[in-house]
Amino acid sequence: MQPLIHTYAPELQVSNWVNTEKELSIQEHRGKVIVIYAFQMLCPGCISYCIPQAKKMSQLFSSEEILLIGLHSVFEHHDVMGIDALNVFIHEYKLAFPVAVDQASTDSTIPQTMSAYRLNGTPSLIIIDKQGLIRVNQLGHVDDMLVGKILGQLMSE
């Protein structure tokens, strides 16, 4: 993974929430490890790697241990990855964790949270420590064992 200067995680900019009764805030979960998994529903690498890994996280870790949020950051083919299509995707892939729809920009194809976190594409794995600092911000696949190690370490801080 690339080295990273730790900065405070910006708040998510979200147009829709799925699988949660209330909006989730980075700020309000200070004290908990937060995993944000940015994906697009029609991105093959996301389907192959991100979705199974996110499902495994949600099975292995309790909601006391981590807050896991899927972030649907659509930066291409916007017309066919709207909220209706995403709802079908979440239903068919049996995703049980909260999913946020990244708020579209008015002047860019890149949605707002994706810009704020300077993501280079999807899938991107973001891990935020208990203090609210971004500790991982990685495009592409990160090995399961390495993800587990990092989460284990951050939980213990």
Residues that bind a second copy (CB under 8 A): 42-44, 47, 53, 56-57, 60-61, 77, 79-80, 82, 84-85, 88-89, 92-93, 143-157
Kind plus residue range of the DSSP H or E element containing 85: helix 83-92
Which two three-digit tokens encode residue 44? Answer: 């093959």
Residue nearer to a second copy on the CB measure, 12 or 50 = 50
Residue nearer to a second copy on the CB measure, 2 or 27 = 2
Residue nearer to a second copy on the CB measure, 20 or 153 = 153
Q: How far is Cα 127 from Cα 5, in angstroms, rounded to an integer?
A: 13
Smallest gap from Cβ 22 to a second copy, in A, equals: 26
Q: Is 141 exposed, middle or buried (0-12, 13-18, 19+ CB in 10 A)?
A: middle
Smallest gap from Cβ 102 to a second copy, in A, equals: 18
Which residue's structure tokens are 């499902």? 55
